[in-house]
Amino acid sequence: MIAVNEPLLDGNERKYLLQAIDSGWISSEGPFITEFETAFAARVQRQHAIAVSNGSVALDAAVVALGIGPGDEVILPSFTIISCAAAIVRAGATPVVVDCDPLTFNMSAAAVAARITPRTKAVMVVHLYGLPVDMDPLLELVQRHGLKLIEDAAEMHGQTYKGRPCGSFGDISTFSFYPNKHITTGEGGMIVCNSPELAAHCRSLRNLCFKPEQRFVHEELGWNMRMTNLQAALGLAQLERLDEFVARKRRMGQRYTELLAGTPGLQLPVAQTAEADNIYWVYPLVLDDAVPLDAKAMMKALGERGIGTRPFFWPMHEQPVFRKMGLMAGESHPVSERIARRGFYIPSGLALREEQMVTSAQAAREVMEQAMSATQEHAHV
């Protein structure tokens, strides 16, 4: 089986991990945490970085730190991971979703503008699958309406928008270091911001809101979302190689596009927009409407040929958990619905080798050609 995501861990990862183990510092108190936070903040041009245990809880902290709660609405894309909407719902606020672009999969400022109400408190912008959201009109919109901006840059390590790092735009921005990301700590996340007050609040939320002067007396509920020194050791080694990893992912994306060009029925990812070149978080494919298979059938056919795949996100407005809560009831966001059913990605990890890419692309082409010729035969009968 060709793994869908295999990370590259052959830099200083082993060396730094051993240093952490040999030093005895394995909890969140160890020195790699500060080193990783400082290096990461510099990389995304932010004043503060707070390392946490994953990218989902980073969003929880961001929402709470910005004072979002009951009665507030937060606008976000429907096509995203549940972590985004879950953070809003857990804080007692209401998620208000917008549809996305069929080619970049990203939300637009125009869609957000259409859903602003007097209760709107914030926008949660999510850059997806390797291309940034068009930020200028969105920044103008949030400024005009006095809204907070949370930027989920979980998939955007090393990406820029008009030359400015993704993760530098939000009042608070967040990242994930899950192994399918451009840099990984196994599990992990980062919160970044410029405000010392927000940074202090996020640090407190990360650590159960212990009070410095009276440790076990709490004025607010936090979480234990601390990252360990072991994870930060990995993170620092990975961060040293971010430029190399981005260049490698770009080459991989271009290579897949060469190998798959002209395959009937397949929408390949957009290589670039006016604002950025794709960093190919993963290599996503969307089946044209004319293809008689959906993503599920296609992934099954590829699995039978030893090719690992993953489906696209499932829209927030179609989530049973939110339906049960009466959220987003009766909404329709056709692009999100369509790409969720017709989109999937093929092996995309940094450790993927040329011959594995050739095998994966060939398998995808064969399955598509078979599916399309079966339709044509059917049409002739």
Ligand X SMILES: Cc1ncc(COP(=O)(O)O)c(C=O)c1O
DSSP helix, strand, coil percent of the chain (3-state; round to 5): 40, 15, 45
Q: In the complex with ligand X, which residue's Cβ is closer, 25 or 79?
A: 79
**Is the distance from CB of 230 to CB of 253 less than 8 angstroms?**
no
> Among 362, 368, 347, which Cα is nearest to 286's?
368
Q: In the complex with ligand X, which residue's Cβ is closer, 227 or 233?
A: 227
Q: How far is the CB of 203 from ligand X (least distance, A)?
A: 19
Q: State the first-to-last Cα distance of the chain, in angstroms, to the nearest integer.
A: 37
Contact string 179-218 vs ligand X (x = CB under 6 A): ----------x-----------------------------
Helices (H), 212-272: 229-239, 242-260
> Among 90, 66, 48, 30, which Cα is nearest to 233's?
30
C-alpha to C-alpha distances, 113 to 138, 141, 344, 358, nearest whole angstrom: 9, 7, 29, 43
Q: How far is the CB of 178 from ligand X (least distance, A)?
A: 4
Count residues near ligand X (CB under 6 A). 13
SS3 42: helix
SS3 325: coil
Amino acid at 29: E
Q: How far is the CB of 58 from ligand X (least distance, A)?
A: 7
Q: In the complex with ligand X, which residue's Cβ is closer, 55 or 95?
A: 55
Candidates 38-46, 77-85, 272-280, 294-302 — which segment interacts with ligand X by CB under 6 A? Answer: 77-85
Q: In the complex with ligand X, which residue's Cβ is closer, 32 or 178?
A: 178
**Is the distance from CB of 163 to CB of 136 less than 8 angstroms?**
no
Contact string 79-108 vs ligand X (x = CB under 6 A): -xx-x-------------------------
Segment holding 284, helix H or strand E: strand 283-287
Question: Which residues between 283 and 312 bind ligand X (CB under 6 A)?
Answer: none
Chain residue at closest Cβ approach to ligand X? 55
Q: How far is the CB of 231 from ligand X (least distance, A)?
A: 11
Q: In the complex with ligand X, which residue's Cβ is closer, 235 or 265?
A: 235
Q: How far is the CB of 6 from ligand X (least distance, A)?
A: 16
Q: In the complex with ligand X, which residue's Cβ is closer, 80 or 104?
A: 80
Helices (H), the chain: 13-23, 31-43, 55-65, 82-90, 109-113, 135-144, 196-206, 229-239, 242-260, 295-304, 320-324, 334-342, 354-380
Q: In the complex with ligand X, which residue's Cβ is closer, 101 or 155?
A: 155
Contact string 141-170 vs ligand X (x = CB under 6 A): -----------x-xx---------------
DSSP structural state of residue 312: P
SS3 118: coil
Burial class (CB in 10 A: 0-12, 13-18, 19+), 13: buried
Choosing from 5, 28, 54, 185, the residue that interacts with ligand X (CB under 6 A) is 54
Q: How far is the CB of 373 from ligand X (least distance, A)?
A: 35
Q: How far is the CB of 80 from ligand X (least distance, A)?
A: 6
Q: In the complex with ligand X, which residue's Cβ is closer, 154 or 293?
A: 154
Q: How far is the CB of 54 from ligand X (least distance, A)?
A: 4
- Report the alpha-carbon distance of residue 157 to residue 166 in Å, rounded: 7
Q: Does residue 176 touch ligand X according to CB under 6 A?
A: yes
Choosing from 74, 126, 298, 327, the residue that interacts with ligand X (CB under 6 A) is 126
Binding residues for ligand X, rule: CB under 6 A, are 54-56, 80-81, 83, 126, 152, 154-155, 176, 178, 189
